[in-house]
Amino acid sequence: MINKDIYYVGVNDHQIDLFEGQFVVENGMAYNSYVIMDDKIAIMDSVDAKFTDEWLANIDKVLNGRTPDYLIVSHMEPDHSANIDNLVNKYPNITVVGTMMAFKMMKQFFNKDYQKIVVKEKDILNLGKHSLTFIMAPNVHWPEVMVTYDMNTKTLFSADAFGKFGALDVEEDWACEARRYYFGIVGRFGAQVQMLLNKLASYEIEMICPLHGPILDNNLAYYLNLYQTWSKYETETEGVMIAYTSVYGHTKKAVELLKDKLEANNCKVVFCDLAREDMAEAVEDAFRYGKLVLATTTYNADIFPTMKVFIDALIERNYQKKKLAFIENGSWGPIANKIMKAMFEKCKDITYLDTNITILSSISDKNIAEIDSLAAELLK
């Protein structure tokens, strides 16, 4: 039991290699699900398809011979919805509760209609002592998403919001994997996360039960503030991220020089070789720090492939409110800086530093002086 009448029935996934087919999750993943035991019994979401038996057994244990009345579906992504049909088959009298859009998706996934209650903003479902209010949260992460507030325990069932990568039986820092999860998965939807946070401001919340990651039940201001910072695309930590690609080491030498100069002045530097490091970690850091230096080679009359993937990943996620500088390398016709800058044209509130550097094959004395100027600008 987590709290009065609320039980955890989720599962840990250590079989997974890539979450959502792309995110490396070395410490696995948790698919959380909860049961509220009251006059009426509500099950909060299901779990990934691989864990049907474990999930149903967890529920059985909590039910202790009783029968569930409701399955609340807050999100239809299969990591949470895959077992809806299996639960209904086991408990045919259960009523499924979700948004209109959730039921449309249910039909698409399972080709079936269920006994249902369609809910909209601020609809209430009484279980007895517990009274559940449904709050629409479109695009946090999919359009059908809603969160659920239990007035009795002041608990927010937050769907994907406030989730993180990592199974619950592994100890790790919350913010690091929550930030990588946030920017990887819902980073694009800052405005929608802001809408949800504004709605939640009128609820007193003492516990957050997300669909991934640990239950949050103390110092909630810390988590709520981080979500404010992330969804407003504000700088979380002062410092410079240097993201680079280097084919033969000359570009790397230039950014190492820049890094040394910045660090010699006590500036926090995150140094990332985009061809070798986790792309989701790189994306997370680009949003975390306020200044970003991008260094790459001209390649096939374009920019180096991993730099292109990186910049595209930032733009897709509404990258904004940052200071940028560019370093290019080319042995003939360098055009990488121009291409990189053009890619950011659609982004809001980007400030370009005055010093941008062109390396012709290897670092020249002129380049060394330019790196000094760039360091000085970044330290301002």
Binding site for ligand FEO (CB under 6 A): 75, 77, 79-80, 141, 160, 211-212
13 vs 69, which CB is nearer to ligand FEO? Answer: 13
Closest to ligand FEO by CB, 160 vs 284, is 160
Q: Which of residues 23 and 326 has its CB atom nearest to ligand FEO in the complex?
A: 23
HSE at residue 35, side-chain half, CA atoms within 13 A, is 24
Q: Do the beta carbons of residue 74 and residue 211 sit within 8 Å? A: yes
Residue whose CB is less far from ligand FEO, 212 or 288 = 212
Name the residue nearer to ligand FEO (CB basis): 68 or 210: 210
- Tell me which residue of 51, 127, 131 sits closest to 86, measured CA to CA: 51
Distances (CA, A) of 185 to 21, 161, 259, 331, 356: 12, 10, 30, 38, 32
Strands 23-24 and 6-8: unpaired
Please name the helix (run of DSSP H) or strand (run of DSSP E) that holds residue 79, with its range, or none.
helix 78-81
Report, in Å, the least distance between residue 202 CB and ligand FEO.
Answer: 25
By C-beta, is 141 or 288 nearer to ligand FEO? 141
The tally of CA atoms less than 13 A away on the side-chain side of residue 159 is 28
C-beta closer to ligand FEO: residue 25 or 242? 25
Please state the closest distance from residue 151 (CB atom) to ligand FEO, in A.
Answer: 25
User: What is the closest distance, in whole angstroms, from the C-beta atom of residue 165 to ligand FEO in the complex?
Assistant: 10
Question: Minimal distance in Å, beta carbon 283 to ligand FEO?
Answer: 17
Question: Residue 327 CA to chain centroid, in angstroms?
Answer: 29
Give least dist CB 77 to ligand FEO, A.
Answer: 4
Nearest residue to the partner ligand FEO, using Cβ: 77
C-alpha to C-alpha distance for 188 and 161, rounded to whole angstroms: 13
How far is it, in rounded angstroms, from Cα 309 to Cα 290? 20
- First-to-last alpha carbon distance for the chain, in angstroms, is 52
- Shortest Cβ 1–ligand FEO spacing (Å): 24
> With contact defined as beta carbons under 8 Å apart, do 30 and 213 qualify?
yes
Virtual torsion, Cα 153, 159, 164, 166, nearest 10 deg:
90
Min dist. Cβ of residue 211 to ligand FEO (A):
5
